[in-house]
Amino acid sequence: MNYVMRLLTMFLSLSMVVLILQIKQVECSRARIIKPYYNNSTKNGDDGEDLVTNLPGQPEVKFRHYAGFVTVNEEKGRALFYWFYEASTLPQDKPLVLWLNGGPGCSSVGYGATQEIGPFLVNTGGSGLKFNPFSWNKEANILFLESPVGVGFSYTNTSTDFDNLGDDFTANDAYEFFQKWFLKFPTYRKRPFYIAGESYAGKYVPELAELIHDKNKDTSSSNINLKGILMGNPETSDAEDWRGLVDYAWSHAIISDETHRIIKESCDFNSDKTWSIPECKNGVDEVLRQYKEIDIYSLYTSVCIANSSTNSESSMEVMFKSTTQMMPRIMGGYDPCLDDYARAYYNRPDVQKALHVSDGLQLKNWSICNLTLFSNWADTKPSVLPIYKKLIAAGLRIWVYSGDTDGRVPVLSTRYSLNALGLPITKQWTPWYHEQQVSGWYQEYKGITFATFRGAGHAVPIFKPSSSLALFTYFLQSESLPSAR
């Protein structure tokens, strides 16, 4: 009897072991069914820590997006904030595109991601988000970077860093950012890579491209697969940019014939001493005074009239405080109060927590543009045209586009800059079409494609979302714009 009981006990014990193993096997199987999303995140998203999952007001989408900080200098405590959107379909087959806004001192999250080319656009009043059917992540994996430190959520723990901010500082930190970012997202390291941006990013973009090109000469594994650059209404060459700004203001009836004549006679924008000539300074001041009455970034749309200190007259006075060689990029669009909506949204505790910026209690003060940073900018290249020549010789794809109702970096400035390169024309000036309508005109040079957008202001995708997505697609495919209906 004892023998039988022992056998029965052993049988039950073995049965329990088998049952436990089966349960474990089922649990493992379930894990394999459920986990791939997060297993992929471990390879591509810092163990999933940067994955954004509870963004307030976000429309439901099938693609993933990530946000967080990348430390670019451990010793000084410098960290840049990024927001990365996977392509809406087949992200594994599509290139990686970095988008930069300029200023200097303005946020790529606040402008590019929130108002222009990102999948989520901010609602009126900053109450939430709406889906952008013309988001550029239809065609690529899009990365927005708040750069340099002091812009948006990006920060430094070393105050003296702000004394050194400039073009080279920005490019070097952005390059270091990518070396660290690719550790979080290693499958993107060899992906075709493009840099895009607008306004003062017309300097950031080629400067970063040049740095990547030079670093790639070191045949180490840290190479970045840079294929090309795309720039909208870009600051390019100070002399040509200012000459174009003045001529455009005159040709669009912003200033008088007399003011235009005085500037033409007294201003040599190629000279470092031009701003010390009273007649020149007074003439350019008059241009800026007239532009203060309207939106310089969009001549034919309304300005924001709101009960907000951010849109007060004193704010505009700061923007045009003197005739300097730069002006910050602050603009409106069809809704000229978009900047206010973005500011309201990104200072919400639940938004900052969802984007891994703060714990939702100790908030960071987010602003769309840092005018202090702009005022103290220590280093700017007077022209990036020599970099254009270098990148053309390296075989990189370079496209430039221009909204033709922008007074800040008008189409004339860009045409003057490109003409200064003296490149052979390979395709003559011709209309390009989108949805059977003339979207603008374009011309192909040996090494550069230049296109205009008819009726678009400084931030082209705000005004022409569908046709700007079309141009982006042709750029990635290295195809000419359609010249027939």
Rounded CA-CA distance 443/401 in Å is 10
199, 298, 367, 439: the active-site residue = 199
241, 458, 467, 468: the active-site residue = 458
SS (H, E, C) 58-98: CCCCCCCEEEEEEEEECCCCEEEEEEEECCCCCHHHCCEEE
CA dihedral 271, 274, 280, 281 (to 10 degrees): 140
- Give the count of beta carbons closer than 10 Å to the beta carbon of residue 369: 26
Burial of 380 by CB count in 10 Å (0-12 exposed, 13-18 middle, 19+ buried)?
A: middle
Rounded CA-CA distance 439/3 in Å is 92
Rounded CA-CA distance 380/328 in Å is 13
**Tokens standing for 224?**
């970045």
Do you know the residue count of the chain? 485
Rounded CA-CA distance 387/240 in Å is 16
Residue indicated by tokens 């075709």: 192
- Reply yes or no on whether 406 is catalytic: yes
Closest CA to 53 of 363, 349, 357, 356: 356
DSSP, residue by residue, 424-473: PEEEEEEEEEETTEEEEEEEEESS-EEEEETT--SSHHHH-HHHHHHHHH
Q: Which amino acid is at 469?
A: L
Task: Check if the beta carbon of residue 365 is closer than 8 Å to that of residue 343.
Answer: no
Rounded CA-CA distance 178/324 in Å is 32
Please name the residues in contact with 305: beta carbons below 8 A apart, sequence gap of 6 or more.
Answer: 311
406, 439, 467, 468: the active-site residue = 406
Q: Beta strand pairing status for 425-434 and 437-445?
A: antiparallel
Residue 322: strand, helix, or coil:
coil
Rounded CA-CA distance 124/338 in Å is 8
Task: Check if the beta carbon of residue 141 is closer than 8 Å to that of residue 86.
Answer: yes
- Reply yes or no on whether 260 is catalytic: no
Q: Beta strand pairing status for 65-73 and 78-85?
A: antiparallel
- Reply yes or no on whether 199 is catalytic: yes
| Residues labelled as active-site residues | 199, 406, 458
